[in-house]
Amino acid sequence: MNILIQNGTIITMQNGRVIRQGAIAVEDKTIIEVGKTHELKRKYGRGYEKIDAKGKVVIPGLINTHQHAAMSLLRGYADDLPLQEWLEKWIWPIEKHTTPHDIYVGALLTAVESIMSGTTTVNTMYHYTPEENEAKAFADACLRGVIGHVCFSWRKKEDRKALQDLAKKWHNKADGLIRVSVDPHAPYTVDPEYMKELREIGKELARKHGSEKAPIIWHTHVAETSDEPRKIQKAFNIQLKNGIMEYLDSLGVLDRHVIAVHCVALTNKDIEIMKHRKVKVSHNPISNLKLASGVSPVPKMLKKGITVSLGTDSPCSNNTADMFEVIKATALLHKGVNKNPALMPAQRVLEMATIEGAKALSWENEIGSIEVNKKADLAIIDFRKPHLYPMHGEVSHLVYAARGADVETVIINGKIVMENKELTTVNVDKVMKAAEETKNNLLERLTRNIK
């Protein structure tokens, strides 16, 4: 499909470049030119579907670097609990009764919600099953994503088989929309030897199915709470002399294709190691606040030059997939806790949700900014709203005032997947109905087992 978006304000996320009365020409999946409308209109006429973006702002699609997409079925199921109780007494018990169809439906619901709020790429960690899974859900919705299988010490044989199947069937598939990752759950649920084995499995899968342009990354929770060292020591009878990152580095598992999620309880030495190993970070402020896990030292990491991106976390610890909420929370949280209103300026935070997110997923050569030869992953936001008037600066409004509901049109891989708030790939009403039925069936299975 050839598309010409015209008359809009283009926030390129390329060296702060903003083009008013701008246009973007798209051919097939790729952006071929970005410039002023009056110039591009002369060059791209017949054969191009026109989208009038007057009064609207065009941004690169938002990139959510940490999700558990299938867990939308548990939205609101176990609120207001500390992390350990939330996981051990509520989440893990019900997940024992989750079927492949549940995973598919939950992920499809999250894919729909993500697209409708301007997110075009999601990095998700959950249980992979060959029959129905998050990868199929994302592909059906036409959402770009990195799909990971979460690994635990108690099911090594199943994990190995799942990772092989996931990589073979899905890496760089669905017209390039889907990549895969290897996902150790956390340092306190994956023993030291298995951590090292999973790093080698990741490298083996990368050699077999990946490439320099489409690497297979490693995605794991790290230092989510201050008691994580104690949990590791208790689980595996080992002594941690210093921080979590120093422990992981001693195992030889850290490199530039590792994305570490949460990173709340870090030591200064941890941060130095992350910088040295080029570890990327996914900051999840809303989930961390809801679970009272603490506040990640993001300004300190940014000052060291570490790539920090943004994630929502699961729909049952956030409880939405709306990245605009995360963007605003990020900007406000760090100003408040550091008592410094100059920290985390709007431009920097928006970068964390776009180009820095692409870097975190090792995908920055194709997505994350609006520039020639990158994939056409775009969100068009209607600024003709009372809460977005008057106009002093588009980036400020995007960070502090815009909402996911303001997104009007979304393009992914050059395909219009939402136009005038209507999805073109799946029926939203049917997805919501399926989610409600699937949730009821899951709860029924849980109740039967308890009785």
pLDDT for the residue numbered 451: 53
Indicate the domain borders of the chain.
Answer: 2-60+374-423, 62-360
Helices H / strands E in the chain, number of each: 17, 17
**Residues 123-139: tens digit of each pLDDT:** 999 999 999 999 999 99
**Residues 160-207: tens digit of each pLDDT:** 999 999 999 999 999 999 999 999 999 999 999 999 999 999 999 999
2-60+374-423: CATH topology is Urease, subunit C; domain 1 (2.30.40)
Say what percent of the chain tops pLDDT 90.
Answer: 92
- Average pLDDT, whole number, for the chain? 96
| DSSP letter assigned to residue 12 | -
The mean pLDDT of 66-72, rounded to a whole number, is: 97
Global pTM exceeds 0.85: yes
Residue 399 exposure: Cα atoms within 13 Å on the Cβ side: 22
Q: Which residue has the tokens 């300026």?
A: 345
CATH architecture classification, 62-360: Alpha-Beta Barrel (3.20)
Q: Out of 15-24, 85-94, 415-424, which region has the weakest mean confidence (pLDDT)? A: 85-94
74-77: which pairs have CB atoms within 8 A and are 24 or more residues apart? 74/314, 74/315, 74/316, 75/315, 75/316, 75/319, 76/316, 76/319, 77/316
* Residue 443: pLDDT over 60: yes
Chain center to CA of 89: 26
**Residues 229-247: tens digit of each pLDDT:** 999 999 999 989 889 999 9
| Neighbour-count burial of 8, counting CB atoms closer than 10 A to its CB (0-12 exposed, 13-18 middle, 19+ buried) | buried
Give the whole-angstrom CA distance, residue 237 versus residue 259: 26
**Residues 270-314: tens digit of each pLDDT:** 999 999 999 999 999 999 999 999 999 999 999 999 999 999 999
pLDDT for the residue numbered 173: 98
CA neighbor of 127 nearest in space, from 84, 112, 154: 154
**Residues 412-423: tens digit of each pLDDT:** 999 999 999 999
